[in-house]
Amino acid sequence: MVDTIQQLVEIESPSDVKAAVDRLGTVIASRFGELGGKVRVHRAEKAGNHIQVSFAARREHKPVLLLGHLDTVYPIGTISKMPFRVSKGRVLGPGVADMKAGIALAFHVVEALLHWNRGQFPRPLSLLLVSDEEIGSPSSRAITESLAPDAEAVLVLEPAQGSQGAVKTARKGVGSYTLRVEGRAAHAGLDFEKGQNAILELARQICALSSLADPARGVTVNVGRVAGGTRANVVPAEATAAIDVRVRSQPDAAELHGIITSRKPFNSHCKILVTGSINRPPLERSSGVITLYEKARTIAKELGWDLEEAAVGGGSDGNFTAALGVPTLDGLGAVGGGAHSPEEFALISELPRRAALLASLIERV
């Protein structure tokens, strides 16, 4: 598994470089193809191609869908600064935990299941590896949403939570918005009264929007980037803010969206333009999710460990499938940490039992 992880990590695959993601997709497609999987390449124009692999089975049954992504947040060239390495029981490198180790796990689980079952699967299995998860899945969302309803369950190969390797039974929904204010430019000394200060208006909007946050209810609103104005002696005509919104429930998502998109200016001479949406619905801890978690927990217990569950703030493609009502269990990939940072790692000692858990889940869902 470590060799496979190394192979995948050393093929860099930032979301915004199609040729790079396609290179990784081609390698993975051919490895799954060698195992006898039927590969389908969903071609994308700007994003990398999305890779679907299907394995038929002896008996008719709804398939299990394994969901993952090929892309990482690390730009090309990162590998020379943080090369793949093995140190103190860890594998390190760009995208190692999120989620190249998850893809490697899936590969070796498929290989083992085929071996144990003499070349035939115990049940139909589909694997979808998308190319644009780290940028919100704009090009793959429709594919994920078209495959999920046919599946018995969706198992997501995102990294587990924390050092105990908890699976994720709830994820927040994520919205991203841009609020743009248009005011009127004027000379700050000669014509101050004629100007309408867009930055001032934006500042008041930021205070109002930030007050919508209610962390106890799981609602956060983060204005993460602002821009505006030209120079100190000009009343600014324009200012914008980029806003990240997180919610735990669908009603909160709808409410926040309504409030943000209907903002009115404090200064009636300024204009407000809001773009954006809740682009990932929340993954709610539904009864389908709980049932799936209980199954995973039973399997883990047989393997001698207590599998915990966690609720997290980050979204994944599991949010889409759960929102469609398809039982979804997330965080079945590697145990590690430091995702999206120079210290990203996965624990080697955890790989075997994560693989065993995933294999048994595929068999018994």
* Nearest distance in Å: CB 226, Zn ion: 28
Choice between 23 and 340, CB closer to Zn ion: 340
* Nearest distance in Å: CB 116, Zn ion: 29
**C-alpha of 326 from chain center:** 17
Choice between 158 and 284, CB closer to Zn ion: 158
* Nearest distance in Å: CB 182, Zn ion: 37
Q: Does residue 330 belong to the site contacting Zn ion (CB under 5 A)? A: no
* Nearest distance in Å: CB 95, Zn ion: 8
CB neighbours of 114 closer than 8 A, spacing ≥ 6? 35, 36, 55, 120, 121
257 token code pair: 């969206």
- Subset of residues 250 to 279 that bind Zn ion, contact rule: CB under 5 A: none
* Nearest distance in Å: CB 328, Zn ion: 14
* Nearest distance in Å: CB 292, Zn ion: 19
Closest listed residue to residue 145, CA positions, set 358, 319, 361: 319
Distance separating alpha carbons of residues 242 and 264, to the nearest angstrom: 17
Size of site (CB under 5 A) for Zn ion: 3
Q: Going by DSSP bridges, is the β-strand pair 125-130/64-69 parallel, antiparallel, or unpaired?
A: parallel
Choice between 102 and 122, CB closer to Zn ion: 102
Choice between 199 and 332, CB closer to Zn ion: 332
Backbone angles phi, psi at 95, to 5 degrees: 75, 15
- Residue 76 CB neighbour total at 10 angstroms: 14
Q: Does residue 284 belong to the site contacting Zn ion (CB under 5 A)? A: no
Q: Does residue 292 belong to the site contacting Zn ion (CB under 5 A)? A: no
* Nearest distance in Å: CB 222, Zn ion: 20
183 token code pair: 């005011």
The string over 187-210, giving b where at least 16 C-beta atoms fall within 10 Å of a residue's C-beta and e elsewhere, is: eeeeeeeebbbbbbbbbebbeebe
Choice between 16 and 238, CB closer to Zn ion: 16
Distance separating alpha carbons of residues 110 and 311, to the nearest angstrom: 28
Q: Binding pattern to Zn ion, positions 84-103, x when CB under 5 A?
A: --------------xx----
Distance separating alpha carbons of residues 307 and 328, to the nearest angstrom: 16
Q: Which residue number places its CB atom closest to Zn ion?
A: 98
Are the beta carbons of 36 and 139 closer than 8 angstroms? no
Choice between 49 and 197, CB closer to Zn ion: 49
- Subset of residues 121 to 160 that bind Zn ion, contact rule: CB under 5 A: 158
Choice between 22 and 158, CB closer to Zn ion: 158
The footprint of Zn ion (CB under 5 A) covers 98-99, 158
